[in-house]
Amino acid sequence: MKRILMLLLPALLAACTNTPPAGWTGYAEAELVYIASPVAGRLTALAVRSGEAVTAGQALFELDATPELAADAEAQARAQSAQAQAANADKGRRAPEVAVTRAQLDQARAAERLADLDLTRQRQLLAQGFVAMSRVDGATAALAQAQARVAELEAALAVSRLPARADERAAARALAHAAQSGRAQTAWRVEQKRQSAPMPARVQDVFMRPGEWVAAGQPVLALLPPANRKARFYVPQSAVGALKLDAPVNLHCDGCGAAIPARISFIAAGPEYTPPVIYSNQQRDKLVFLVEARPVKAGDAERLHPGQPLDVTQ
C-alpha cells in the first residue's frame, strides 16, 4: 500500500499545482498614437481624460486660434481684393466714361462738318476772286485737323470697350490665385488648432493641461487603439523554425479569463540572447528570437494591458 501511494504522489502533486500551460513567456505592449498640433499655441480646451474611450472624429483638444483667425480675415480680404481686380481687368471702361468719349466724338464730327462747309465756301470765294489762296489753305488744314480728331475719338471709343491687355489680365488672375492659396493656408492653420481622434481608441495618457503653451508638434495626449495592443514573447532557437507569420497562438494572463486567440504578426530575423554566450552546442539553447502576436478580435485586445505578463501557447 505504501508503495502504491509513493507512485501516485507525483501525479497528485501535479494535479493540485496551478501550473501555467506549457509555452513561452512574454508581456503585453502598446503602440501609442501621439496626438499633436503642427501649429503652436496655448491649450484652451481639453475634451477628454486619461482612460476614456473615444470614437473616430471625437474632439480631443483645442488651442488658442486668435492669431490665425486674424490672419485668415486678412487673407480673405486680400483674396476678395485680388478677385475684384481680376474681374475688373476682364471688363472695358465704365458706361459713364464711354458716354463721355461718345459725346466728344459727336462734337468732333460736328466740327468736321463745319470745317468741310467752310472749305467749300472758301473755294467758291476764291473762284470769284474775293479771297486769297491762303484762306483756302487754312480751311483745308482745319478740315484735316477735325478729321484727325474724329478718328482719334473713334479709336478711343473702341478701346474703351476692350478689356485690359492679355498680360495684365494674366497677372491679375495670378494675384487672385496667390491670394486664394494664402487664404487656404491660414484656414488650414485655424483647422489644425482643433484636433480630433483619428480612430476609435482609449486615451492612454494626457501630457498637457489647459493654460499651458504647446509647441508645434508637441504631443498633448496619447491614444491606444485596440489594434495597437500586442504580445511580445521570446521563443528558443530550437522552436522558432516551426513558427510562421499568421500562425495562431493563445495568450494567457492573470485575471483575463479564457485564452485570447491571436496570430503571429512578427518574427525577428536575428536572435537575441541572455548573458553573453558562445555559439556552441552546449550554449546555443540560450538563444531566443523575438516574436509578436496580435489578438484576432478587437474586443479581446482590450483585455491586454501594457506591461502585463503573458503566457503564450500554440
Read off the pLDDT of residues 7-65 as tens digits, 9 standing for 90 and up: 444 444 444 444 444 589 899 999 999 999 999 999 999 999 999 999 999 999 999 98
pLDDT at site 7: 40
Residue 257's pLDDT band, with cuts at 50, 70 and 90, is: confident
- DSSP class per residue in 251-288: EE-TT--S-EEEEEEEE-SS-EESS----STTTGGGEE
Residue 31 burial (CB < 10 Å; 0-12/13-18/19+)? exposed
pLDDT at site 239: 87
In Å, what is the CA distance from 41 to each residue of 80, 193, 198, 205, 248? 28, 8, 21, 20, 47
The values of phi and psi at residue 289, to 5°, are -120, 135
pLDDT for 255 beyond 90: no
Amino acid identity, position 93: R
pLDDT at site 275: 44
**Model pLDDT for residues 68-123, shown as the tens digit of each residue:** 888 777 777 777 777 777 666 666 666 777 788 788 878 888 888 888 888 888 88
Q: Dihedral, CA atoms, 242, 248, 252, 253, nearest 10 degrees?
A: 100
pLDDT at site 210: 95
- Residue % of the chain over a pLDDT of 90: 35
pLDDT at site 67: 83
pLDDT at site 165: 62
Q: Please give the span between the terminal C-alpha atoms of the chain, in angstroms, as a whole number.
A: 40
**Residue entry with cell 536572435:** 271
Helix segments in 90-213, DSSP class H: 95-128, 133-160, 166-192
Whether the Cβ atoms of residue 294 and residue 301 lie closer than 8 Å to each other: yes
Query: What mean pLDDT, rounded, does the chain reach?
Result: 81
Q: Which of 58-67, 154-163, 204-213, 223-232 has the lowest mean pLDDT?
A: 154-163
How far apart, in whole angstroms, are the C-alpha atoms of residue 237 and residue 172? 71
Q: Average pLDDT for residues 216-222, to the nearest whole number?
A: 95
Quick one: which of 193, 200, 239 has its CA closest to 223?
Answer: 200
For strand 248-252 and strand 287-295, is the pairing parallel, antiparallel, or unpaired? Answer: unpaired
pLDDT at site 1: 41
∠ CA 110-114-120 to the nearest 5 degrees?
145
pLDDT for 311 beyond 70: yes
**Residue entry with cell 489647459:** 210
Q: Which of 91-100, 151-160, 244-253, 290-299 has the lowest mean pLDDT?
A: 91-100
∠ CA 188-197-194 to the nearest 5 degrees?
35
pLDDT at site 179: 73
- Residue % of the chain over a pLDDT of 70: 82
Amino acid identity, position 191: E
pLDDT at site 94: 67
